[in-house]
């Protein structure tokens, strides 16, 4: 689907366990294991991006895998946008590990 001025960002783009052939779009050194939609939303918020969330959609090439994507207003090229999001996801993950994993549901 073409959305002028917007970019669709699938969770799978940042998953270190997925090959580039199956859909990962960032280098493995920038990817993280099993990213969540909540982490991607938090990364978008931290980068002050305008976005919409689609929770139930599945990446067509890996329809059995994780769900969800965000539609982001594209301020720059998609490659640079993905790189910025990947760096923010790594930063989030390291903070989560540093502070004991955040809040747990009871």
6-98: which CATH topology? Phenylalanyl-tRNA Synthetase; Chain B, domain 1 (3.30.56)
C-alpha 90/C-alpha 85 separation (Å) is 9
% residues pLDDT > 70 (the chain): 91
For the residues 56-69, what does the mean pLDDT come to? 83
SS3 category, 7: strand
For the residues 29-49, what does the mean pLDDT come to? 94
C-alpha 62/C-alpha 43 separation (Å) is 23
3-state helix, strand, coil in the chain (%, to 5): 35, 20, 45
pLDDT (0 to 100) of residue 106: 41
Look-up of token digits 């329809």: 63
Domain ranges of the chain: 6-98
C-alpha 45/C-alpha 22 separation (Å) is 27
Is the pLDDT at 52 greater than 60? The verdict is yes
pLDDT (0 to 100) of residue 100: 60
pTM exceeding 0.95 = no
């Amino acid at each position: 689907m073409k959305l002028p001025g917007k970019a669709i960002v699938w969770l799978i783009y940042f998953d270190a366990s997925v090959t580039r052939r199956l859909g990962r779009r960032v280098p493995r050194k920038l990817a993280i294991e099993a990213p969540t939609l909540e982490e991607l939303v938090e990364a978008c918020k931290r980068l002050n991006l305008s976005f919409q969330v689609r929770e139930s959609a599945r990446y067509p090439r890996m329809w059995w895998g994780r769900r969800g994507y965000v539609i982001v207003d594209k301020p720059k090229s998609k490659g640079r946008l993905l790189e910025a999001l990947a760096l923010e996801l790594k930063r989030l993950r390291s903070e989560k590990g540093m502070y004991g994993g955040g809040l747990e549901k009871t």
